[in-house]
Amino acid sequence: MAVTGTSRWRGWRGSRGGSPAPRSPAHRRYMLGMLVDATGSGMYLPVSLLYFHHVTGLPMTQVGAFMTLAALVGLVCTPVTGILVDRFGARAVVVTGYVVRAVGFAAYPLVDDGGQLLLVATLVALGDRSFPAAIQSLIADIAQGTGRDRLIAVQRSLRNAGLGAGGLLAGAVLGIGSDLAYHSLVLGNGAALLLAAGLLGSLPGTRGRSDAGPGAERAQAKRPGGYRDVLRDRPFVLLTAVNIPIAFGYMVLAVVLPVYVTQVLQASASWPGVLFAVNTVLVAGAQVPVTRLLARHRRTRSAALGGAVLSLSFVFFALLGAAPDSGVLIVGVFVATVLFTLGELLHGATASALATEAAPERLRGRYLAFYQFSWSVPATAAPALFTALIAFSPTAMWLLLATCAGLAALALVRLERRLPDAAVRPRGPEPEPEPEPEPAQPTPLTTKEGTPQ
């Protein structure tokens, strides 16, 4: 039997349900790394655009343009991540990405002009864009079957908790109102990234698992492969395309909902923060139990249900424009937000596990880098697209989002017959092999008195 990296990760397998073992030291280091990463990100996000404007005095329009250009460079370089993951392993790429971002944030206080801003922002963007595909590949290396769904769920839960904690810390620090406060948040995020790199870098090395023998593994490694193989995999390409409309829906909470609530519905400026907090708390608290309930169902059906619930939430948001009074408006906004969050809970972790399982191990890095375009393209295009749509007609915008998410959910169900069965139907981790029985020892002859002869 071939010896793979799997034996090092037995602590992740957990029980029959496939959840990672909470007492595993490796499990705790991984989750602590995710929490530290998210807390640092929560500290930085509130000042991501304000930092350079406050410290250097550059106009906000110029800062926004440079940050957008840096993000586009990172987006274009995403395919390189897949190649690096397949060549060097997911853990190495995740750790390197952390270090690259930490170096970029350490250089933030040194920026004096637009050119320097673009340089350090591009460095950070390159590390940012390498993370999603690399971390999904790392999860695929260290968890199997339903364990992947649950590990992704725990990660999403911790990430929301960390973002919330980091945001609260940022709010307290920004109350000081000095350049030192801004510098401390940026450098604190860099320090958090280095700590996360150390935690994940200390995990046992693994390049995934295989049930084939060493000869078969070497033959598979020598087979030529690249992004042409990914593009020839029509079901996976369709899976990526189907995710794009739903991913656009995810951008609503941060991009369009604050504008819609405050300018169209004429609600209090405090509402967007409250709605964001409701979403964050619900995801942090409910993602793991929801994913545990979904483990017995097809991933395609669970993700499609999430898309359908998101579609329903967009219909609710559209109807709010006709709310007769403020009481109905308040209730309606919170109902729509809870529905949106439920759709996210049903779709998020399940869709990620579905894509990870559908990607063949040999080219998993390239497959998941390609799949990440279904998230990064909407994240890049959403601000310009949504502002144009809401200026044209807020109701039409919501109904368009609802229609696209609903059609994507139907397409996902239709697609399940063409996807690998192991991806569609989650299974628990494979049982540990039974230890081979020791050969029986001959029983010594005894005398009448019972002593060995």
* Structure confidence at residue 143 (pLDDT): 78
Q: What is the pTM of this model?
A: 0.80
> Is the dihedral angle over the CA atoms 107, 109, 110, 113 positive or is it negative?
positive
Q: What topology does CATH give the domain 227-427?
A: Growth Hormone; Chain: A; (1.20.1250)
The pair phi, psi for residue 376, each rounded to 5°, is -75, -35
Q: Coil, strand or helix: which one is 5?
A: helix
Long-range contacts of 360-363 (CB under 8 A, 24+ apart): 361/140, 361/208, 361/209, 361/210, 362/86, 362/220, 362/221, 362/223, 362/225, 363/82, 363/86, 363/225, 363/226, 363/229, 363/230
* Structure confidence at residue 241 (pLDDT): 96
Residue pair 386/249 in contact by the 8 Å Cβ criterion: no
* Structure confidence at residue 399 (pLDDT): 96
Token code pair at residue 261: 């609530």
Distance CA 219, CA 13 (A): 28
Beta-ladder partners of 446: 452
Residue pair 316/334 in contact by the 8 Å Cβ criterion: no
* Structure confidence at residue 330 (pLDDT): 85
* Structure confidence at residue 199 (pLDDT): 92
In the block, tokens 């698992």 appear at 209
Distance CA 138, CA 430 (A): 18
Burial (0-12, 13-18, 19+ Cβ within 10 Å), 440: exposed
In the block, tokens 């870098």 appear at 201
Distance CA 40, CA 314 (A): 31
Distance CA 344, CA 398 (A): 17
Distance CA 441, CA 89 (A): 46
How many CA atoms lie within 13 Å of 31's alpha carbon, on the beta-carbon side? 21
Give me the DSSP letters along 350-403. HHHHHHHHHS-GGGHHHHHHHHHHHHHHHHHHHHHHHHHHHHH-HHHHHHHHHH
pLDDT tens track, the chain, 453 positions: 333 333 334 434 443 334 344 446 777 888 899 999 999 988 887 777 778 877 778 887 788 888 888 888 888 888 999 999 999 999 999 999 999 999 999 999 998 888 898 999 999 999 998 998 999 888 888 877 777 888 888 888 888 888 888 888 887 887 776 778 888 989 999 999 999 999 999 887 655 444 334 444 444 444 557 899 999 999 999 999 999 999 999 998 888 888 888 888 888 877 887 888 888 889 988 998 998 899 889 999 999 999 999 999 999 999 988 777 777 888 889 999 999 999 999 999 899 999 999 999 889 999 999 999 999 999 888 888 888 898 899 999 999 999 999 999 999 999 999 999 988 987 765 544 444 444 545 444 443 344 344
Distance CA 289, CA 303 (A): 16
Where do the CATH 1.20.1250.20 domains begin and end in the chain? 21-206, 227-427
* Structure confidence at residue 43 (pLDDT): 86
Residue pair 139/16 in contact by the 8 Å Cβ criterion: no
- Those residues whose C-beta lies under 8 Å from the C-beta of residue 135, and which sit 6 or more positions away, are 90, 94, 155
Residue pair 357/423 in contact by the 8 Å Cβ criterion: yes
- Those residues whose C-beta lies under 8 Å from the C-beta of residue 435, and which sit 6 or more positions away, are none
* Structure confidence at residue 148 (pLDDT): 80
pLDDT in tens, 94-113: 999 999 999 999 999 998 88
pLDDT in tens, 161-186: 888 888 888 878 877 767 788 889 89
Distance CA 363, CA 45 (A): 33
* Structure confidence at residue 429 (pLDDT): 55
Residue pair 260/387 in contact by the 8 Å Cβ criterion: no
Q: Coil, strand or helix: which one is 309?
A: helix
Q: Coil, strand or helix: which one is 86?
A: helix
* Structure confidence at residue 338 (pLDDT): 95
Q: Spell out a b/e string for 366-384, using b for 16 or more CB atoms within 10 Å of the CB, else e.
A: bbbbbbbbbbbebbbebee
How would CATH label the architecture of 21-206? Up-down Bundle (1.20)
Q: Spell out a b/e string for 8-40, using b for 16 or more CB atoms within 10 Å of the CB, else e.
A: ebebbbbeeebbbbeebebbebbbebbbbbbbb
Token code pair at residue 403: 């229609």
Distance CA 58, CA 35 (A): 33
* Structure confidence at residue 305 (pLDDT): 96
